[in-house]
Amino acid sequence: MTDRAYRQDPSVQILDALTRAKSLVCVGHVSPDADCLGAALGLARAWSLHQNRDASVWVSEKSIPARLRFMFEIANVRNANEYDLESADRIAVVDTSQPSRIDLPKNATSSIDGNPRILNIDHHFTNTCFGDLHWIVEDASSTCELIYEVLRGLSYRIDPATAALLYSGIYTDTGGFSLPNTTANALHIAADLTQLGVSPSDVAERVDRSVGVPQFELMKCIYQNTRTQENGSIAYSTISYDDLVRSGCSPSDIDDQVNVPRSMAGVTIAALFTEVEPGQIRINLRGESNTEVSGLAQQFGGGGHRQAAGVIMSGTLQCAVERIVNAAVNMLHQKSNQTNAQKQTCESSGH
Ligand code: 5GP
Ligand code: MN
């Protein structure tokens, strides 16, 4: 496909580095999502098929959500071991904004900054540009969109399995082509990947319509525990460690369930608080109607995208809820005060 409305080009250095590498290990972020897995697995698969050399992925097995395990089956890429990590010519870090978020053993993440073997491809605006080479495109829908461009730039053939991996990342990071990052470019690429052999209904069935009983039980609990505040503009739910264990889920199954409180009309900030282990709370934050939540996450040491961010906090579930919800309320008050002040300025100046 050549006739697209707009195109992002990866740098020649990135393409060159991938062409010259003799071995490649792809890694993503902790608590991997479909974009991170699709980008790492898709790049590793296409690279090894084309270069006819060894590529592997480093992903902590127990951190993979059950609904995304199919991605490993279709990728057919082997898991890296410690030796692969130490000896790889290049380590491609995808969909990850900063070294501390990389899903690698702690001793390996300390030497990431300025590491000449690291190649960093990502779409987080908070990316700290670590490593040797980086290609960061803030307005890309997903990292899978960028991997597609890399594969195109390298003139690799994209086989149906690679296409399905990349499509899965674009599909999920755009919320099933429903979020503000659903650009014409993302849709063009999805269409091209479909022509290359992806079945959109198969992907949607795998990621949206294959919920197991434990995950379904957890959803019931999330609906049950959903609360609203500020006339419904803030909606959040909680999962205690007991709830998690009772449902039969593991912490890795927390993925996109924040969509439950987010789905209510009028919500501008949605949050899901999960006690992933006693005293350890993971918070998923989402902003609707142009409301940014990255600042909210950063206040508590987290980060992410403008409208999809996260935090990890120590303490009780109740304490985490109080801290985050109070900060969210303050943020909305400040926003509404600013809007009122702007209106008054316009009215008094006669506009
Ligand atoms: P999720 O809520 O799906 O876990 O994460 C939403 C976005 O925020 C993703 O891009 C994810 O990588 C990022 N994110 C989640 N938790 C953290 C965190 O603790 N720190 C940073 N820097 N980013 C996070
Ligand atoms: Mn992503």
Q: Which protein residues have a CB closer than 5 Å to ligand 2 (ion)?
A: 35, 95, 142-143, 173
What are the b/e assignments for 254-279, b being 16+ CB within 10 Å? bbbbbbbbbeeeebbbbbbbbbbeee
> Is 332 a residue whose pLDDT tops 90?
yes
Residue 294 CA: nearest ligand 1 atom is 8
Query: What average pLDDT does range 271-289 have in this prediction?
Result: 97
Residue 72 has what pLDDT? 96
Domain residue limits, the chain: 12-208, 213-339
pLDDT digits (tens, 9 = 90+) for 120-171: 999 999 999 998 899 999 999 999 999 999 999 999 999 999 999 999 999 9
Helix axes 160-173 and 143-153, enclosed angle (nearest 10): 150
Q: Identity (one letter) of the amino acid at 61?
A: E
Q: Pocket residues for ligand 1 (CB within 6 Å)?
A: 29, 31, 33, 97-98, 101, 124, 284, 302-305, 308-312
> Is 2 a residue whose pLDDT tops 50?
no
Residue 17 has what pLDDT? 96
Instruction: Tell me the average pLDDT of the chain.
Output: 93
CATH fold match for the domains 12-208 and 213-339: no
Q: With beta carbons less than 8 A apart as the criterion, state whether 307 and 292 touch.
A: yes
Residue 349 has what pLDDT? 66
| Residue where the block lists tokens 């009215």 | 347
Percent of the chain with pLDDT over 70: 95
Residue 4 has what pLDDT? 39
Query: What average pLDDT does range 257-276 have in this prediction?
Result: 98
Residue 67 has what pLDDT? 93
Query: What average pLDDT does range 22-26 have in this prediction?
Result: 97
Q: C-alpha angle 262/264/265, rounded to 5°?
A: 120
Paired strand residues for 314: 280
Residue 223 has what pLDDT? 98
Q: Which CATH class is domain 213-339?
A: alpha beta
What's the rounded Cα separation, in Å, for the pair 45 and 75? 6
- 262 alpha carbon, closest ligand: 1
Q: With beta carbons less than 8 A apart as the criterion, state whether 141 and 6 touch.
A: no
Query: What average pLDDT does range 40-64 have in this prediction?
Result: 95
> Is 11 a residue whose pLDDT tops 90?
no
Task: Indicate which residue's Cα is closest to atom 6 of ligand 1.
Answer: 309
Burial group, residue 77, by CB count within 10 angstroms (0-12, 13-18, 19+): buried
Token pair of 175 as six digits: 């919320």
Span from the CA of 269 to the centroid of ligand 2 (angstroms): 20
Higher pLDDT, 59 or 9: 59
Paired strand residues for 280: 277, 314
| Of 169, 125, 176, 172, the residue nearest 297 (C-alpha) | 125
Which H/E stretch holds residue 186?
A: helix 184-195
Residue 351 has what pLDDT? 56
Task: Indicate which residue's Cα is closest to atom 15 of ligand 1.
Answer: 310
Place 184 in a pLDDT band, splitting at 50, 70 and 90: very high
Residue 88 has what pLDDT? 93
What's the rounded Cα separation, in Å, for the pair 86 and 113? 16
> Is 3 a residue whose pLDDT tops 50?
no
Residue 183 has what pLDDT? 97
Q: Which CATH number fits domain 12-208: 3.30.530.20, 3.90.1640.10, 3.10.180.10, 3.40.50.300?
A: 3.90.1640.10
- 301 alpha carbon, closest ligand: 1
pLDDT digits (tens, 9 = 90+) for 60-119: 988 999 999 999 999 999 999 999 999 999 999 999 999 999 999 877 766 787 788 999
In whole angstroms, how large is the CA radius of gyration of the chain?
A: 21
Residue 126 CA: nearest ligand 1 atom is 22
> Is 279 a residue whose pLDDT tops 70?
yes
Residue 7 has what pLDDT? 46
> Is 270 a residue whose pLDDT tops 70?
yes
Q: Are strands 280-287 and 308-314 parallel, antiparallel or unpaired?
A: antiparallel
pLDDT digits (tens, 9 = 90+) for 299-327: 999 999 999 999 999 999 999 999 999 99
